[in-house]
Structure 1
């Protein structure tokens, strides 16, 4: 019998003792709940360690103070766990989902994903959420009795559906990324429904973390200034309030305090709106939440408008800044070069990655090369490119 989590007090929380279990049966832990065990397996995974050198916005060598996928995931986990605790949800499940949500990202952030998706256009494409599922169900090779991490049904469901149902009107199973289609043949994750409440919390914790921490990183990188933020709703108000309260405060502390207060404002709004939806829907179980026709967890309309304005600002002033564009252009060339060469010449893959290939430019070879590149850190991708394309590099 799985251990219960006494902290999951809400009747609509996902209950660890009621888990639908794992694809491969294992003895239960005597000291940890099923979801605590999932979290620990994620932390010990090789893919999790590699997040340390994977880009959030800035390539790893551009500075030690900028967020990486690892630090971002830890910040998302902190927010998700705090929100889950207040709502009486299972904190461990929310934390596990937050820690794992970026495992499938390529090197070089969204630029790397775009490049790899283009390379894989004739072979099923590339999607980082689907790659996360592939990593935790297939690519991690740690245990003697199964591939992957053998996570619980609830964790796998949350990883695939944290942004909402993936089978919707006009979109069938066969329209989904290949990794999800393949896994659906093995286990039914109920792709046409919403995920449980903990996954919904983790998804919005991700929004809160990256919006606010991109403000911090963008200001540190001098891609924009505090004055540029003043016209934004909420963001400008909070910065103004901090500077009025602490006249003459050094800029770095102004930024930290404003970002801290912005995170608090967004969390408060999320809790207020989610409680309102709870009072309206009155779910008696996590299954009731999955069966709803809209998300349970969400922001108010006003906060959604504030977030949209902030995202538009960051898109224009940060993600499309010429310095970022130059860096990401180089990154995409690295990914395209690596894929093209290794797909044509799979014998240049490390021996363990050559297994499962079906020859130059084959379909299976494309998938092996894709998995190999997607798992690279920024650092390794840059060095591998040098080894393969620099005639003077002695490491080749």
Structure 2
């Protein structure tokens, strides 16, 4: 990188408008030894990691239900891993000099990473779909939109008035809010208005439209497009994909769902492989067929077996069988040995981070874009969708997720029942919020907020109290 290319991009990455807050507060002392913008972003980071919604992530499913084992990742540990990867990417970009003398604020990218999943309801994406179905005529539900609602409205930190009304959540700076805005579009109030009725609509709730407009005006005053996303949000998003494509795979190995040899042995004509190819093509914009997916998987996992496979003698039945057994044993060891699993995922993460770069935006410096090398992007998307199709959509996992979806819908419908005055089941503070809501969509949003904030265990306990049913089932038990 030449000196000229480092300094050729005009503008500033952070300005005084970035640290504007929706509710003006008295000037404060520097936070944690930092000054100016850094102090304000550090204050936001502290508010996030100390809030209740962040703590509740420890009780929400990432891949496997928490009741199965204390080894598997939950939403909290996943978010911590995403934050570590995001910080590593930011530091790499800062060292590259592409942004000139500007430096991505690492507190800001860590804040966005730690916050990215706090809007997810119990039972992962099935809980998300269940709540969206319940709210289809009242503004819908979506995890990213709920994250914004939590940090800007629901968290009990500051208010807009002395009476305690008009809560403004954590009252974060506009730049911190922008770092969480993955989808720059409002979710239609009615399900019929969506481009794909019945599908999750990504975006933010219409109730947050006014705030989002203020955020965008402060962070990028000259922006007039329809794809607003800050560089910190871009960093968080690719870090999430990297964590999902590696660490969820590691958990799948530990759980014994499959091992490297089983992945490589899948026929290129299986339904799983075709679905992975279709999703990778859609995500990358490149046409990828099942043979391309197979090649990526062989490149990723073939190293586990390469030493043993070269020793197989096909002319000797005994030697052939011994060689096959050796390869199978090596594959099983790779999945069951903690040292090998850790080394494998660690090397993948480092490879993926090295494939990340940045493209500066001279018109709106804050909207500079993260880029991923084509080969690395294909590998990330392949592993991500492989885990989803082969594991998340497997019969055992579908069973537990189906039950989770049913639990969420049952709770929501009970609380929303006007005939049985279901709102009286709400805790006192939530009941007050329900009565304060001006119309039915507002009342339904209060119920949705309450259910979405539940941990998996609390939702099962609440469901059990409603139905007098036993909630102690394990998805590992045969059915």
Shorter-chain TM-score: what band? 0.7 to 0.9
1:14 Cα offset (Å): 3.5
Deviations 1:325-380 (A, max 9, x none): 01101101100110111111111111211113259x94333111100000000010
Matched, 1:148 2:169: yes
* 1:283–1:329 CA distance, 2 compared to 1 (3 A): closer
Alignment of 1:94-243 (within 5 A): 94-143=109-158, 147-161=168-182, 165-166=184-185, 180-188=205-213, 189-190=215-216, 192-230=226-264, 232-234=294-296, 236-241=298-303
1:356 alignment partner in structure 2: 433
Of 49, 56, 59 in structure 1, the residue corresponding to residue 62 of structure 2 is: 56
User: Partners in 2 of 1:12 and 1:373 — Cα distance?
Assistant: 44
* 1:187–1:113 CA distance, 2 compared to 1 (3 A): closer
Alignment of 1:187-336 (within 5 A): 187-188=212-213, 189-190=215-216, 192-230=226-264, 232-234=294-296, 236-241=298-303, 251-271=337-357, 274=358, 278=359, 282-284=360-362, 287-290=364-367, 296-336=369-409
Residues 109-118 or 194-203, more deviating: 194-203
Kindly indicate whether the alpha-carbon contact (under 8 Å) linking 2:186 and 2:203 is maintained by their aligned counterparts in 1. no
TM-score after normalising by structure 2: 0.69
Structure 1: any 5+ residue segments left out of the alignment?
1-9, 169-173
User: Partners in 1 of 2:12 and 2:260 — Cα distance?
Assistant: 40
1:30 alignment partner in structure 2: 30
1:215 Cα offset (Å): 0.6
Kindly indicate whether the alpha-carbon contact (under 8 Å) linking 1:77 and 1:95 is maintained by their aligned counterparts in 2. yes
* Structure 1 SS opposite 2:370: coil
Counting matched residue pairs gives 363
* Structure 2 SS opposite 1:123: coil
Kindly indicate whether the alpha-carbon contact (under 8 Å) linking 2:356 and 2:372 is maintained by their aligned counterparts in 1. yes
Deviations 1:179-213 (A, max 9, x none): 53222224523383432212111110000011101
Kindly indicate whether the alpha-carbon contact (under 8 Å) linking 2:54 and 2:76 is maintained by their aligned counterparts in 1. yes
Deviations 1:154-192 (A, max 9, x none): 11112123xx54379xxxxx9777953222224523383
Residues 313-322 or 97-106, more deviating: 313-322
Q: CA RMSD in A?
A: 3.0
1:239 Cα offset (Å): 3.8
Say which one has the larger Rg.
Answer: 2
1:5 alignment partner in structure 2: none
* 1:29–1:196 CA distance, 2 compared to 1 (3 A): farther
1:3 alignment partner in structure 2: none
TM-score after normalising by structure 1: 0.83
